[in-house]
Structure 1
């Protein structure tokens, strides 16, 4: 049984969080590049679109590294697991991969494109 101190320490370790994709309107092309699509259907957005004659759909195309991170988010891997896999595939050090991934994960979490579904506990 884990002590309360160990459990609290795990809950504060961001690398143990398990992300899951929330934004479901995206495509992955043949080169494994992810494109997110956004519909703008709120009344104020409709009015702004009408003023500037814009489409109600916009998109964001990720680069190679961001696309790889997005693809590795499966609701099972922790942020640390994803960082290790990215380091392995990209030939980076663990530290570089973790630093880059944490910034990316925080950004897409703030945008609510992902959510955290749990904390991966150490087995042993």
Structure 2
């Protein structure tokens, strides 16, 4: 029983899921752009008085775009890392640290959640 709970706490075993409210598109060059609507009182204030945009466009780099397109709610981070290594080779090093940080950032901004 203890072994199962330890395995479920491993970050690489987590399964990322894209949140539904994030719109995204793939450009002709294969790069992904996330379109994030800026909601809330602070954002409305900034839009009105500081001419900030209603939608922010977040452009992902080649590796981030590759990973974003692979997120399907069934692959865990470890499976995704094998595909990234196959695609990018040594360019992805240090692989696990980079992917862990990438998913942590996506999660902190609410772009993904993890399957429970």
Q: TM-score, normalised by structure 1?
A: 0.83
User: Is 2:70 the counterpart of 1:69?
Assistant: no
Runs of 4+ in structure 1 off by over 4 angstroms are none
Q: Map 1:80-119; keep pairs closer than 5 Å.
A: 80-92=78-90, 96-118=94-116
Q: Which residue of 1 aligns with 2:6?
A: 9
What residue ranges of structure 1 are gaps of 5+ in the alignment? 119-124
Q: Tell me how many residue pairs correspond in the alignment.
A: 115
Q: Specify the alignment match of 1:44 in structure 2.
A: 42
Q: Helix, strand or coil for the counterpart of 1:92?
A: helix
Distance 1:104 1:45, change over 3 A: same
Alpha-carbon offset, residue 34 of structure 1: 0.8
Unaligned ranges ≥5, structure 2: none
CA RMSD of aligned residues (A): 1.8
Q: In the aligned structure 1, how far is the partner of 2:67 from the partner of 2:103?
A: 9
